[in-house]
Amino acid sequence: MTQDRIPLAGVIGSPISHSRSPRLHQHWLKRYALPGYYIPMEIASADLESAVRSLPKLGFVGINVTIPHKEHIMSIVDLVSDRAALIGSVNTVIFRADGMIHGDNTDGYGFLENLRAGAPDWDPKSGPAAVIGAGGAARAILASLLDAGVPEVRLSNRTKNRADALQSEFGKRVQVYDWVQAGNMFEGAKTVVNASSLGMQGKPEMRIPLDGIERDAVVTDLVYTPLETPLLAHAKSIGCRTVDGLGMLLHQAAPGFERWFGMKPEVDEALRAAVLR
Ligand code: NAP
């Protein structure tokens, strides 16, 4: 690539119009006065490989990947990072100068950075974590909580065999609770995470009994529309430290931006405001 070629990045998915990533990256590009553009691109599954392979030729230095391409893209990239392999999906792609296409997953990193920023005294080793959900996001949460040193992860999901599959993959530190007994997971849990879509605008409400959540737990929700979900509102009302899900979206974007545009960006209030606007 010539020196003066303006670097391009973007997000691919289908649908893509709802994505907040363009606002986020454009905010950083403007803030750091860097040359570059970040573009949302709707790409159908059948066109994924040819589209991705043509992007470096157009000047792209990398892309984010969202639903429904996060798993499929793993078979297209040349290299998959260890953490992406563990999570089983790729959300960040780097088109390297040597022509190799590198796939990474920053969801677990974003999740932990958000918890550490929102609850600085959060200690993963202080006790069990309770996780609701066993979809794609839950895999990243499980991998990162175990890596951070949580002694036990309790997991409950409406479709139990998805939770069982995660348990067989991630091992004995994961304990599966039946969906009808999900409320029992909270006893003694120091970290509580909603990694399901329950509580999201337009989705069903969470009916799990929350009264077992203890005051000294740090409670976080991956859902960020609304910012204060019923789970977070309940946790706040009993005195828990709570961390909303928007921060995870912001933090997971930082490693990609740094690789593509050469500057480690800051996650701050101005960024939150730009994304919420
Ligand atoms: P997914 O793979 O589709 O999984 C959805 C999860 O929600 C599954 O565990 C599913 O249970 C559960 N669920 C859906 N409807 C349900 C219902 N009516 N009753 C009980 N459980 C239900 O989605 P995902 O990618 O894991 O994402 C999960 C949530 O996290 C979404 O709201 C997403 O927007 C959010 N998210 C946020 C961030 C962030 O940066 N803050 C990042 C990633 C994801 P079943 O297995 O039984 O279907």
Give the start-to-end residue ranges of the domains of the chain. Answer: 8-105+248-276, 108-244
How far does the centroid of ligand 1 lie from the alpha carbon of residue 4, in Å?
Answer: 42
Fold match flag (8-105+248-276 vs 108-244): yes
How far does the centroid of ligand 1 lie from the alpha carbon of residue 128, in Å?
Answer: 21
| pLDDT for residue 148 is more than 80 | yes
Q: Which of 90, 162, 197 to mutate to test the pocket of ligand 1 (most atoms within 8 A of CB)?
A: 197
Q: What is the mean pLDDT of residues 113-126?
A: 97
Q: What is the mean pLDDT of residues 87-105?
A: 97
pLDDT tens-digit profile of 70-88?
A: 999 999 999 999 999 999 9
Task: Supply the residue whose CA is at minimum distance from atom 34 of ligand 1.
Answer: 223
Task: Supply the residue whose CA is at minimum distance from atom 29 of ligand 1.
Answer: 197
Nearest atom within ligand 1 for CA of residue 249: 40
- Which amino acid would we find at residue 87? I
The CATH number of domain 8-105+248-276 is 3.40.50.10860: yes
pLDDT band at 277; cut points 50, 70, 90: confident
| pLDDT for residue 1 is more than 60 | no
CATH class of 108-244: alpha beta
| pLDDT for residue 4 is more than 80 | no
Catalytic residues: 70
Nearest atom within ligand 1 for CA of residue 158: 47
CA 55 – CA 15 distance, rounded (Å): 19
**Strand 92-95 with 101-104, pairing:** antiparallel
**Ligand 1, pocket residues at CB < 6 Å:** 107, 133-138, 157-159, 162, 195-198, 200, 204, 222-224, 245, 248-249, 252
pLDDT of res. 182:
98
Percent of the chain residues past pLDDT 90, beyond the cut? 97
**Cα dist from 50 to 43, 46, 53, 199, 241, whole Å:** 10, 9, 5, 37, 46
Decide: pTM greater than 0.85: yes
pLDDT of res. 239:
98
Q: Which residues of 239-272 are buried (b: 16+ CB within 10 A; e: fewer)?
A: ebbbbbbbbbbbbbbbbbbebbbeeebebeeebb
pLDDT of res. 2:
53
Nearest atom within ligand 1 for CA of residue 246: 41
How far does the centroid of ligand 1 lie from the alpha carbon of residue 135, in Å?
Answer: 6
Task: Supply the residue whose CA is at minimum distance from atom 36 of ligand 1.
Answer: 222
Q: What is the mean pLDDT of residues 242-253?
A: 97
Task: Supply the residue whose CA is at minimum distance from atom 16 of ligand 1.
Answer: 198
pLDDT tens-digit profile of 181-199?
A: 999 999 999 999 999 999 9
Of 114, 93, 139, the closest CA to residue 252 belongs to 114
Nearest atom within ligand 1 for CA of residue 159: 47
pLDDT of res. 141:
97
| pLDDT for residue 218 is more than 70 | yes
pLDDT tens-digit profile of 9-68?
A: 999 999 999 999 999 999 999 999 999 999 999 999 999 999 999 999 999 999 999 999
